[in-house]
A and B are shown apart, each in its own frame.
Chain A
Amino acid sequence: MHIMEGFLPAEWCAFWYALAIPVLIYGAWKTKKEIERDPKAKSLLAVSLGFIFVLSALKLPSVTGSCSHPTGTGVAVVLFGPSVTAFLSSIALLYQALLLAHGGLTTLGANTVSMGIVGPFFGFIAYKALKKFNLTAAFFSAAAVADFMTYVVTSLQLALAFPASPGMEGVMFSAIRFLGIFAVTQIPLAIIEAFIAVLLLRSIRTYSPEVISA
């Protein structure tokens, strides 16, 4: 879902940075609070970050004949909510922008908004909606929805920057084009990611049931 370095017009880079930065600041502050409140949170933050690192390092082939990355944000969002997830995601995105030329510094704001903020936010809503009924289903949905919505957002970001023709119609046309590239490929990957996230979250729950309030 990485928008490549230089592949967003400067005004869009600025726009997405402006959205991402306040959330990142709040997320960093909240991460600090979590650690102060409960030193044990440090371990779980590390595990959440680890999960994002592992999953977003995987390049998986999909049914469409192309391959893409899972995002790994499902665990963080279940344990700590969207703003901390945004902060943790930006660490992984920065690593990939600097060392792998995956994504970029100019597009870091846009990529943080998709992978760190909006995707996980939808995952969080799915988790909240389902956790009363079935915790496993809630874990699964949180991870799958966060992953899938990340790529929907990327598609929309690209469509807004590169409309096929001026006006809303052009944006729609481009959106369908980019969704065809990203979203379809992502469905099987989101499901695979969700299975792994469920396993990890369930083991975390057996270790420390108190961190996941049912």
Chain B
Amino acid sequence: MRPNKILLLVLPVALIALSGAQEWKGTDDIAEGAIAELSPDYKPWFSPIFEPTGELEGLFFSVQAAIGGFLIGYFLGKHDRES
């Protein structure tokens, strides 16, 4: 394995480890607060059809990352096997 490939594996893992900092507020939420300040009268006119609980949210985020990881790994690996 070339160093390049090892980095490709290690970096995302390091990133995911870093992202465990749950107390950091999301920019989406901060922007929501800014909207409330700029237009106090604005009421959201539509709400999500389905809103996951904290646990489920973690699950769906992981599933999303897993799908992505699978696509990358499978198709790069396929290329490796064929050549």
| A43-B75, A174-B38 as given contacts; A67 in contact with B50, CB under 8 Å | no
| Chain B residues whose C-beta falls within 8 Å of the C-beta of A101 in the assembled complex | 48, 50-52, 57
- Let me know if B65 and A207 touch, CB within 8 A: no
Collect the chain A residues with CB atoms within 8 Å of residue B49's CB.
98, 105
Stretch at the interface among A18-26, A27-35, A46-54, A120-128: A46-54
Q: How many residues of B contact A (CB 8 A)?
A: 52
Interface size on A, residues (CB 8 A): 64
Tell me how many residue pairs across A and B have CB atoms closer than 8 Å. 166
By a CB distance below 8 angstroms, the chain B residues around A92 are: 64
- Which residue from chain A places its CB closest to the CB of B76 in the assembled complex? A47
B24: chain A residues at CB < 8 Å are 61-62, 65-67
> Given A4-B44, A67-B24, A181-B27, do A59 and B19 touch, yes or no (CB 8 Å)?
yes
- Residues in A neighbouring B25, C-beta threshold 8 A: 65-67
A192 near B79 with CB under 8 A, answer no
Interface residue A60 (Cβ < 8 Å from any Cβ of B):
yes
Nearest residue, chain B, Cβ from A68: B27
Name the one of A50, A67, A207 contacting B19, with C-beta atoms under 8 angstroms. Answer: A67
CB of A137 within 8 Å of the partner chain:
no
CB distance from B79 to the nearest CB of A (A): 5
- 7 more CB-based (< 8 A) A-B contacts, given A49-B68, A66-B27, A101-B57: A1-B28, A7-B35, A44-B75, A50-B69, A65-B25, A92-B64, A196-B12
19 contacts between A and B (CB under 8 A): A7-B35, A9-B42, A44-B75, A46-B74, A47-B76, A53-B65, A54-B68, A57-B68, A58-B65, A61-B18, A61-B21, A68-B26, A101-B51, A104-B48, A177-B38, A199-B4, A199-B7, A203-B5, A207-B80
